[in-house]
Amino acid sequence: MDYTAEKATMAAARESQVTEALADLDSALERLEAQAKMLEERLAYVLRDTEPPSDTLAKIAEPLVPLAAQLRSYAVRALTVGDALADIRSRVEL
């Protein structure tokens, strides 16, 4: 195998690994989001009412390459779940 073919094979392997890792991250975030929602629903009877959450996540308008845009969207999802859990914690009445 010449250098160019080897380089192309390595690039394809990296792309496949990145795609698989992104799919795993997406699945993990979906599970986390579902668990946070279920927690809030199950604790509804001991949670105080609250005002609708304000959008605290900064929106950065810079153009991104597709991978960076996807990673940013995952970060926003994770921050949103974190904010939801903090909200639940602050509203629980025990």
Given a cut of 80, whether residue 56 has pLDDT beyond it is no
Average pLDDT, the chain: 86
pLDDT tens across 10-46, in order?
A: 778 888 899 999 999 999 999 999 999 999 999 988 9
Residue 47 CA to residue 50 CA, distance in Å, equals 9
* pLDDT value of residue 38: 94
State pTM to two decimals. 0.72
Tokens of 74: 């995952």
* pLDDT value of residue 55: 58
Q: So where are the chain's domains?
A: 3-91
Given a cut of 80, whether residue 3 has pLDDT beyond it is no
Q: Give Cα 93 distance to the centre of its chain.
A: 28
Residue 53 CA to residue 44 CA, distance in Å, equals 16
Given a cut of 90, whether residue 78 has pLDDT beyond it is yes
Please, which residues bridge with residue 47 across strands? 92
DSSP string, 8-35: HHHHHHHHHHHHHHHHHHHHHHHHHHHH
Instruction: Give per-residue burial for 21-37: e unless 16+ CB within 10 Å, then b.
Output: eeeeeeeebeebeeebe
Which is more confident, 80 or 12?
A: 80
